[in-house]
Amino acid sequence: MTKSFDDAIRRFYKLYTSGLSLREIEGLIKRDAPGIYEFYQRDVKQAGRDAHPFSRGVNFVGSLFMAFLLKLTPARRMFYSLALFVFIYGFLVGSWIWGVLGFLALNLLLAFELADKLTARDDLEVAREIQMGLMPRSAPEDTPFDIACYSEAAREVGGDYYDFIQPAQPADTTLIVIGDVSGKGMGAALYMVQVKAILRNLISQHERPHEILTTLNTQLKQILRQGSFFTVSIASVNAKPELTLCRAGHMPLIHYQHECRTCREVLPGGIGIGLPDHGRFAELLEETTVPFAPGDVLLFYTDGLVETMNTSKVEFDDFRLKQLIEANAAKPAREIQNAILSALARFRGAAPPLDDITLIVMKVK
């Protein structure tokens, strides 16, 4: 009897602790709970500042409860309200039968919601696999660079985009593209797929980055909904020891120069696609030439990298990024990338990812 009881206790303990870690609990408190609160708070009506604190509290709890109810389908909303009423009724009259019935009904509804969430998660995993399949499987080898690239969505799918395109003409040219659609999630991911298709078509028609981005702006402005925008950098590399860079509102290129052992930012003028430009997009867009030498490091990245926050709401920022590049510049591109990602993970800790992160590390051979 004692052995059976001990085995039951062990199974019960294992059920709730298997795979559990302190980091997961910390993530639940510091990441998931604030995210869920923010999700419901969008629909919460704020009480006036002149109201009594108790009244404000009651109003907030009531509004939060209503926001939760309205997220349910009408049928589940009615089922939930009925189950909650039965549970409270059983508690008030001291009838454990009604209480258990209400509790079981609430758990049945929870099972429905969980099944929906898991189904949606499976669909998003498929979407993620499709999106990752659209990214280059490897960097081109016939360039003067050792290249490492990485992309991570804040959610299952995201709006960051990078590509290496080698057009038929001119034959010795490689185009490096990195872009960022505003927002996160499925909407940004769908825009990213459209951008990729349009860009590949434009690159087959135009040679210079300036021409490509000017035409891309014309086409994307007809697609992007109001309030959405797209930032992008395109660099063209050929047999010469230099690249031609054009930037439409994107993050600067960081260029580590081996000769002087320091980083500099390359920031040609340009405004994001979809932002108000008063018809001056092509005029504001600049092309610049970036000469490079063996041992130099070039870093393309999206804003999610430097805007990553820790639990104290402090950003990783570009100063830390440049320090990391300077400290690891003697290493191969993959090791430089790993050093950046490791430092970023340590800095972020249990804080949730707020934006997609993409980086391309290119070390001159």
Q: Give the model confidence (pLDDT) of 319-338 as tens digits.
A: 999 999 999 999 999 999 99
Peptide bond into 144 cis (omega under 30): no
> Is 58 a residue whose pLDDT tops 80?
no
Distant-in-sequence, close-in-space partners of 194: CB < 8 Å, separation ≥ 6: 220, 223
* pLDDT, position 32: 67
Strand ranges across the sheet with 253-257: 145-152, 357-364, 297-301, 253-257, 262-266
Residues linked to residue 237 through DSSP beta bridges, in sequence order: 174, 243
Q: Which CATH number fits domain 139-364: 3.30.420.40, 3.40.50.2000, 3.30.479.30, 3.60.40.10?
A: 3.60.40.10
Tell me how crowded residue 142 is: count the other CB atoms within 10 A of its CB.
7
* pLDDT, position 295: 96
pLDDT tens digits for 1-38? 566 767 777 777 777 677 666 666 666 666 666 667 66
At 340, the pLDDT band (50, 70, 90 cuts) reads very high
* pLDDT, position 279: 87
- Please state the rounded mean pLDDT for residues 130-152: 84
Average pLDDT, the chain: 85
> Is 222 a residue whose pLDDT tops 90?
no
At 249, the pLDDT band (50, 70, 90 cuts) reads very high
**Which of 299 and 46 is assigned the larger pLDDT?**
299
pLDDT tens digits for 295-322? 999 999 999 999 999 988 899 999 999 9
Q: Tokens in use for 361?
A: 């590390």
> Is 203 a residue whose pLDDT tops 70?
yes
Contact present, 253 and 301 (Cβ < 8 Å): no
- Please state the rounded mean pLDDT for residues 214-242: 90
Q: Which amino acid is residue 97, in one-letter code?
A: I
Which sequence spans correspond to the domains of the chain? 2-129, 139-364
User: What predicted TM-score, i.e. pTM, was given to this entire model?
Assistant: 0.76
* pLDDT, position 4: 74
Which range has the worst mean pLDDT, 277-286, 288-297, 350-359? 350-359
Rounded alpha-carbon distances, angstroms, from residue 346 to 139, 152, 316, 333: 27, 16, 11, 20
At 192, the pLDDT band (50, 70, 90 cuts) reads confident
> Is 264 a residue whose pLDDT tops 70?
yes
The rounded distance, in Å, linking the Cα atoms of 124 and 185 is 10
**Which of 68 and 176 is assigned the larger pLDDT?**
176
Q: What is the dihedral of CA 315, 318, 324, 325, to 10 degrees?
A: 160
- Please state the rounded mean pLDDT for residues 64-76: 81
* pLDDT, position 240: 87
